[in-house]
Structures are given as structure tokens and as C-alpha cells.
């Protein structure tokens, strides 16, 4: 359902198409996309004719607002837990056609562990698997053949596949934007070098109904 709506919106002329809804998930701890490279929205707007919002909305897991957004970000630093209602909404969102792009801010090991625990509980029938280097998400708009950290180390993206559809793409390394976010607490040595271009590719891949 969500993918079909997105395809219809993307096919409309820019002056007729509503901006494709995108949001940052906020849960009890308050984490959101504070340090995420949200400049990808501007990249998509500049290099395609698809209508995109100027900024991310906030989608609290405490409410049903999450389901208004077919594309959501989930990021943060440090360990976290979700309450029962938040878990139920996120489970329904992932299984119902929503797409989550997740990233451990500052490559936070504690956040990574918490996120993996949440997914294992919510979707026990699926598991995060590394995306192959020839996956179209790496070349959908910008060439990002092999994501690397700013220190040159290789970075690996993972996908959560539910019923043949990628419901979540996850980066244990930070998809951060510290260069343009002076108040961000992130360590610049732990972020993916081409984060903006990579996020733009993933956004379009999800928007246009990409499959596994």
C-alpha cells in the first residue's frame, strides 16, 4: 500500500506532487536524527524532479503519527529501550510496508546492541544481513560503490528483509553530518564519508518501491 502510494506521487509532475513524507522516529529516550546527514533531502531535490520536504518531521513512537510517513529515520547514541506500545507500533510499521533507515550515531556500540536486540524481538523471523556490494542501493542516484569511514575503513550496510521486501537498511557506522552540524556531539572519525549521497540513494530506493 505505502509503496504504491509513493510510486503514484513520484509519477506526478513536480508542481502537482505533494512532498513525499519523511520523518525522524522519536522514542521515550528522545533520540532522533540529531546528527544524521539530513542534507540528503536537498540532494534528492536538486538532482531529481521528485517533490521532497525541506526537513524531516518528527514521528513519536508514542503516537500513531508514525504511520503517516512511509520513510523514517531512526538514530541516536547510547543504549535504549522501547516500551510495549512503542514496540508494537514499530513492529506494525515494519511489517505493514514502512521503511526505516537506521544508523548508530557516532558508530555507538551501545546503540547498535540495543537496536539489534529490538529488531530480534520485533521481527524474530528475519535477521539483518549484509547488503552485497553490487546492490542497486549503492548506485541508485550517486555512485557509492563501497561505503567507507572518513578514516578509510570499509563500512558495511545491513538489510532487514520481510516477505521479500527490504523494510530496514541499517548502518552500524554513523551516517552523520558533523561538518554542517557544529553542535553535534559525534566524533568525526566514526562517520561514513559519503553519508549524504548514500542516504539519498537509500531514500530513492525506498521511495520507488525497491525490493530485496
Position 211 scores a pLDDT of 64
For residues 101 and 23, is the Cβ–Cβ distance under 8 A? no
**CA 114 – CA 91 distance, rounded (Å):** 15
pLDDT at 1 over 60: no
pLDDT at 6 over 50: no
Which residues does residue 27 pair with via DSSP β-bridges, in sequence order?
Answer: none
Domain that holds residue 114: 2-207
Position 190 scores a pLDDT of 60
* CATH at residue 184: 3.40.50.12140
Q: How many domains does the chain have?
A: 1
CA atoms within 13 A on the CB side of 20: 30
Mean pLDDT score across all residues of the chain: 82
> Which residues contact residue 46 at a Cβ distance below 8 angstroms, ignoring those fewer than 6 apart?
none
Which residues does residue 36 pair with via DSSP β-bridges, in sequence order?
Answer: 176
Mean pLDDT of 140-159: 84
User: Has residue 76 been placed in a domain?
Assistant: yes
Question: pTM of the predicted model, to two decimals?
Answer: 0.86
**CA 23 – CA 71 distance, rounded (Å):** 7
pLDDT digits (tens, 9 = 90+) for 84-138: 999 999 999 999 999 999 999 878 899 999 999 999 999 999 999 999 988 989 9
Amino acid at each position: 500500500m505505502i509503496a504504491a502510494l509513493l510510486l503514484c506521487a513520484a509519477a506526478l509532475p513536480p508542481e502537482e506532487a505533494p512532498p513525499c513524507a519523511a520523518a525522524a522516529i522519536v522514542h521515550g529516550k528522545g533520540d532522533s536524527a540529531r546528527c544524521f546527514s539530513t542534507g540528503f533531502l536537498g540532494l534528492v531535490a536538486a538532482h531529481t524532479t521528485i517533490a521532497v520536504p525541506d526537513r524531516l518531521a518528527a514521528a513519536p513512537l508514542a503516537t500513531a503519527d508514525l504511520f503517516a510517513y512511509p520513510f523514517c529515520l531512526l538514530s541516536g547514541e547510547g543504549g535504549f529501550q522501547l516500551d510495549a506500545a512503542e514496540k508494537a507500533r514499530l513492529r506494525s510499521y515494519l511489517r505493514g510496508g514502512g521503511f526505516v533507515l537506521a544508523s548508530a550515531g557516532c558508530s555507538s556500540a551501545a546503540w547498535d546492541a540495543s537496536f539489534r536486540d529490538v529488531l530480534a524481538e520485533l521481527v524474530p523471523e528475519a535477521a539483518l544481513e549484509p547488503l552485497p556490494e553490487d546492490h542497486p542501493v549503492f548506485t541508485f542516484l550517486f555512485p557509492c560503490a563501497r561505503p567507507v569511514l572518513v578514516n578509510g575503513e570499509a563500512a558495511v550496510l545491513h538489510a532487514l528483509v520481510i516477505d521479500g521486501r527490504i523494510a530496514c537498511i541499517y548502518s552500524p557506522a554513523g551516517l552523520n553530518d558533523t561538518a554542517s552540524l557544529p553542535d553535534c556531539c559525534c566524533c568525526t572519525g566514526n562517520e561514513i564519508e559519503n553519508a549524504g549521497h548514500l542516504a539519498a540513494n537509500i531514500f530513492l530506493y525506498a521511495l520507488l518501491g525497491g525490493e530485496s
